[in-house]
Structure 1
């Protein structure tokens, strides 16, 4: 699957799979991810493992796991910070035509140094370049079954600037 197909799959999922997203808020002082490599390892884990890892680290869910024909969803939260929210959105769905499983890990950071640590490490490992059509300043990396996108946006709740790292991986379904 090439970069364009990954982007189309991601946009298709975001438009057509209402409720197939997973929000868990992250306390930066008790983060699951110690560095970019642990973040990438987590993002490539299977969906059930991700949820178990997050629960062990003290992230909580306020709703039961919901399953639909298009994917799974769970919503959770953790203490908010005065600078904004740290959150991760986990998404899993199967592309109907190819039967490939798409796993998306979206991390959202308030504008602070926590983001800089991950960004610096990821950009060193993956040699980011500009990404057209994804907003000013968006950078990323793409290969056959992996896409990383980094961009800024406004938090819909607080209207503060937040930074996003989105990791999309595709695997053949079993």
Structure 2
């Protein structure tokens, strides 16, 4: 679904620093709330990056066609003037790296919870590689791209560098180094 820039600007309080929840290589992510009360996460891609154009198109084209409980859901996008926005479901507990690298939060990752997170990540990857209509290789899977919902269920995010494979393809070549 396409959302107007003004709607997203209002939802994020004009992309207020206090609503910034993350920063990636291609832009910042802001928490927002739509007029219907739904919380959202908005990735605002940095202006003027040609690479950002590719990442934006790649993410919209791929993730819009995917639906799995262990993948973050793309709710919409906005491409207005020089602005490029991706609107996602808001995932309550941020990313896995916030738990791994924070001594206090790490205590919440007992072995049962870690096993549940690993299993969810594996189900998400299996869906991408084998079970979806598309064959997708993520190419930037890391703790900061694994989001945790309120029940600590993992959701794979950030498909900007993902690569689409044909159904029976088992290997591929790339012309550029991607990922972290």
TM-score normalised over the length of structure 2: 0.30
Going by fraction, where is strand more abundant, 1 or 2? 1
The structure, 1 or 2, with the larger RCO (C-alpha pairs under 8 Å, 6+ apart) is 1
Could you say which structure has the larger radius of gyration? 2
